[in-house]
């Protein structure tokens, strides 16, 4: 998924999230894009034009009337040059101005002159984001074709907790990459189901059996699928992670809840990537009250949970089915066995048990096994990079299923 050679105009407005826009400019340049930055006067209260000039190696536009080239009208020239415009952060004020068709500065005049796709990454206080006026302005802009990159929820600079935090630069870059390249992806327009995180199996209201899965790999996979133009549903166990832009999320707790949710969705999807670390066992009895501490040992009888992946393999018709195999030893052999036993199209063998790989880490060392292909060993990569490699490997399998 590349922005190689694309002309990107980055509009930076006056919000605290403007500091993220510097990282976004850098990410876009690293992705191969040519970037021109337009700043509002309020944006310059938070970050200087020199920062963006250094990152993009290009002039920064901040004044409609600074016509430095007599043969050109700057805002028309920039609008004609752009392949896409991304406003990040998109404050409540710039959304109102854009919805009203105002032309008060370099950014708004360029927006009026632009005929390329326009994207906006909102960033504001949660109460502002939910205000009817802001919602109305966003609906107006959506009706005109502006694409919104949803903000995240969490602690905001103002001290409130809620939705309104600008999407992370890497997520915005991935979203823009997908928009400009998704027609080349076999996943474009497909329904993809991703599972992520652990499950919790309670023995009483105070005690739970679980595993160290952070959900990071599944969330990275969901983000990558969305970046390739897929309609993504993410079924997540109990994790504290932000939902990737463009992804529909369903939260579950237990293995049984995940089983019911996933099997219910399965008939209507084109592909499944099951990255969740589902508990293999659960307590046979769940006590309604907290069990009291006592002398000696405690024995808790456990029973098997339903094997979700095996059930999906049994029910499989035309779906592309991808599983994970987390192992400490004999990684490739165990992964190959899982590929065959559970009727999978692809399995990702995940080495766990070291400090740099597996559960809770930010990196993975994996092997990809596919029916009809040689094993593909991946070096130590971030989970975001691993997700890209996984979907690169899955592309020909999905295309093969369509042929």
> What DSSP state is assigned to residue 193?
E
Domain 185-402 class, CATH top level:
alpha beta
Known binder of ligand: residue 342?
Answer: yes
| Two tokens, residue 78 | 């920039």
User: Annotated binding residue at 383?
Assistant: no
For helices 216-227 and 383-402, angle between their N-to-C axes, nearest 10 degrees: 50
Q: Give dist(CA 287, CA 96) in Å, integer.
A: 55
Tens-digit pLDDT string for the chain (403 aa): 468 888 999 999 999 999 999 999 999 999 999 999 999 999 999 999 999 999 999 999 998 887 777 667 778 989 999 989 999 999 999 999 999 999 999 999 999 999 888 999 999 988 899 899 999 999 888 878 888 988 887 767 767 777 788 988 998 998 888 665 554 678 988 999 999 999 999 999 999 999 889 999 999 999 889 878 889 999 999 998 888 877 899 999 999 999 999 999 999 999 999 999 999 999 999 999 998 888 989 899 999 999 999 999 999 999 999 999 988 888 889 999 999 999 999 999 988 866 666 666 778 788 999 988 999 998 888 888 888 889 989 999 986 655 5
Residue 36 assigned ligand-binding role: no
Q: Is 163 annotated as a binding residue?
A: no
Return contacts of 56-61, CB within 8 angstroms, 24+ apart: 56/25, 56/29, 57/29, 58/34, 61/36, 61/37, 61/106, 61/110
pTM strictly above 0.85: no
| Tokens at 176, concatenated | 């823009």
Fold of 7-180: Rossmann fold (3.40.50)
Say if residue 290 carries a ligand binding annotation.
Answer: yes
Q: Which of 27, 22, 116 is nearest to 76 (CA)?
A: 116
Select which of 103, 113, 158, 250 is catalytic.
158
Please report the pLDDT score of residue 1 as a whole number.
45
- Which regions of 112-151 does DSSP assign to beta strands (E)? 118-122, 147-148
CA atoms of 87 and 149, how far apart (whole Å):
10
Beta strands in 109-266 (DSSP E): 118-122, 147-148, 152-155, 161-165, 191-196, 201-204, 207-209, 231-236, 247-251
Nearest to 271 by CA among 189, 383, 337: 189
CA distance 127 to 205: 35
| 3-state SS class at 297 | coil
Q: Provide CATH 3.40.50.1950 ranges for the chain.
A: 7-180
116 in active site: no
């Amino acid at each position: 998924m590349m922005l190689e050679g694309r002309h990107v105009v980055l509009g930076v407005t006056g919000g605290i999230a403007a500091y993220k826009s510097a990282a976004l400019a850098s990410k876009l340049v690293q992705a191969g894009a040519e970037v021109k930055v337009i700043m509002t006067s309020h944006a310059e209260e938070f970050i200087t034009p020199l920062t963006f000039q250094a990152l993009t190696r290009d002039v920064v536009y901040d004044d409609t009337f600074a016509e430095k080239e007599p043969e050109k009208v700057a805002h028309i020239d920039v609008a004609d040059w752009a392949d896409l415009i991304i406003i990040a952060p998109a404050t409540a004020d710039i959304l109102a101005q854009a919805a009203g068709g105002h032309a008060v500065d370099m950014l708004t005049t360029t927006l009026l002159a632009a005929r390329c796709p326009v994207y906006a990454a909102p960033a504001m206080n949660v109460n502002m984001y939910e205000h009817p006026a802001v919602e109305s302005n966003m609906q107006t802009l959506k009706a005109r074709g502006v694409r919104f990159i949803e903000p995240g929820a969490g602690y905001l600079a103002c001290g409130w907790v809620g939705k309104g935090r600008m999407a992370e630069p890497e997520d915005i870059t991935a979203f823009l990459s997908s928009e400009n390249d998704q027609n080349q992806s076999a996943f474009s327009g497909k329904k993809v189901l991703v599972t992520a995180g652990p499950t919790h199996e309670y023995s009483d209201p105070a005690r739970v059996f679980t595993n160290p899965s952070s959900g990071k790999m599944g969330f990275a996979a969901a983000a990558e699928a969305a970046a390739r133009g897929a309609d993504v549903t993410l079924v997540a166990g109990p994790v504290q992670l932000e939902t990737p832009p463009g992804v529909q999320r369903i939260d579950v707790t237990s293995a049984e809840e995940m089983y019911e949710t996933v099997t219910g969705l399965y008939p209507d999807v084109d592909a499944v990537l099951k990255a969740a670390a589902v508990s293999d066992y659960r307590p046979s009895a769940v006590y309604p009250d907290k069990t009291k501490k006592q002398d000696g040992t405690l024995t808790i009888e456990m029973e098997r949970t339903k094997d979700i992946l095996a059930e999906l393999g049994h029910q499989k018709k035309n779906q592309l089915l991808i599983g994970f195999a987390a192992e400490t030893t004999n990684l490739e052999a165990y992964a190959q066995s899982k590929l065959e036993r559970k009727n999978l199209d692809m399995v990702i063998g995940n080495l766990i048990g070291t400090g740099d790989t597996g559960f809770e880490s930010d990196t993975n060392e994996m092997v990809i096994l596919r029916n009809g292909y040689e094993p593909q060993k991946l070096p130590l990569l971030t989970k975001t990079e691993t997700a890209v490699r996984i979907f690169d490997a899955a592309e020909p399998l999905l295309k093969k299923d369509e042929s």
